[in-house]
């Protein structure tokens, strides 16, 4: 069996409210995804799916537990090192594309490479090539407001993939899309796993897409259930 690309052990997250009550969003979760595997995480609203994804991505720190990306323990890193790891090894796709409105599609996709220190010309070349492979070759200079919802989300997937991350974390990436565009985005994520060898974690309420993942994980009340 492949060594996990990402794994969590004993992951817990609690939030205090008004200093008197505590909400446990995650309760001692053990979780791993192998390279080349597309894992769908499902469950009712409030089950802890997004909390799990944010902890896996180092976007929040757990109350207890640890996450490893490869052999790197996320929460033993200082903030600067954690930011570098996210930039180089993790790709993120959210329900809302979060593209920068003042930039065209190619510049949005190139942004993670520029942050990583890739020269502007090379970053833009790689961004253009990836967008062209996704059918957006004629939309490279279009700003997000000039793209359809499906095009915006394909550009967001391209931005997540352009740095060749080991892990892609996708939080309801088809939540605002119609069936055709949902299929297109799911196809890109499945290709990223099967052909790109990436570990993909997909949080979704779309039962049809979840059923076609390599593995299905169900969550309830902050825990993984059978």
1, pLDDT greater than 60? no
The predicted structure's pLDDT at residue 49: 95
List pLDDT tens digits, range 158-198: 999 999 999 999 999 998 889 999 999 999 999 999 999 99
| Beta strands per DSSP E along 18-127 | 21-33, 38-42, 64-69, 72-73, 90-93
Determine, yes or no, domain membership for 100: yes
CA pair distance 128, 134, nearest whole angstrom: 10
DSSP string, 173-196: TTTTS-HHHHHHHHHHHHHHHHTT
Determine, yes or no, domain membership for 51: yes
CA pair distance 17, 69, nearest whole angstrom: 31
User: Are 177 and 149 contacting, i.e. CB atoms less than 8 angstroms apart?
Assistant: yes
Determine, yes or no, domain membership for 155: yes
pTM tops 0.75: yes
Q: How many domains does the chain have?
A: 1
Backbone angles phi, psi at 25, to 5 degrees: -80, -25
List pLDDT tens digits, range 102-149: 999 999 999 999 999 999 999 999 999 999 999 999 999 999 999 999
Determine, yes or no, domain membership for 75: yes
20-25, long-range: CB < 8 A, 24+ apart: 24/222, 25/51, 25/222
Determine, yes or no, domain membership for 136: yes
Determine, yes or no, domain membership for 186: yes
List pLDDT tens digits, range 51-103: 999 999 999 999 999 999 999 999 899 999 999 999 999 999 988 888 999 99
DSSP 171: E
Domain span at 47: 6-225
pLDDT band at residue 226 using 50, 70 and 90 as cut-offs: confident
Determine, yes or no, domain membership for 1: no
Determine, yes or no, domain membership for 44: yes
The predicted structure's pLDDT at residue 20: 65
List pLDDT tens digits, range 17-36: 766 667 888 999 999 999 99
pLDDT above 70 as % of the chain: 97
CA pair distance 6, 220, nearest whole angstrom: 21
The predicted structure's pLDDT at residue 215: 96
Q: Which helix (H) or strand (E) holds 16?
A: strand 6-17
DSSP 63: S
Q: In this structure, what CATH number is given to the domain that contains residue 92?
A: 3.40.50.300
Residue 74, burial from CB neighbour count under 10 angstroms (0-12, 13-18, 19+): buried
């Amino acid at each position: 069996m492949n060594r996990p690309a990402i794994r969590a052990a004993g992951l817990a997250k609690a939030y205090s409210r008004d200093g008197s009550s505590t909400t446990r969003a995650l309760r001692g979760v053990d979780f791993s995804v192998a390279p080349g595997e597309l894992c769908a995480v499902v469950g009712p609203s409030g089950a802890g799916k997004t909390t799990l994804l944010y902890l896996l991505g180092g976007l929040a720190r757990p109350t207890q537990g640890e996450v490893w990306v490869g052999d790197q323990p996320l929460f033993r890193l200082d903030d600067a090192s954690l930011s570098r790891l996210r930039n180089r090894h993790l790709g993120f796709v959210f329900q809302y594309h979060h593209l920068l409105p003042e930039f065209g599609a190619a510049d949005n996709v190139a942004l993670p490479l520029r942050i990583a220190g890739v020269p502007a010309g090379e970053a833009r070349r790689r961004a253009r090539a990836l967008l062209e492979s996704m059918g957006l070759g004629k939309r490279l200079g279009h700003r997000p407001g000039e793209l359809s919802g499906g095009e915006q989300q394909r550009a967001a997937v391209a931005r997540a993939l352009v740095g060749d991350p080991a892990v892609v974390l996708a939080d309801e990436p088809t939540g605002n899309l119609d069936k055709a565009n949902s299929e297109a985005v799911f196809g890109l994520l499945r290709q990223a796993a099967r052909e790109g060898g990436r570990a993909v974690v997909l949080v979704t309420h779309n039962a049809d897409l979840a059923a076609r993942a390599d593995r299905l994980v169900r969550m309830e009340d902050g825990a993984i259930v059978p």
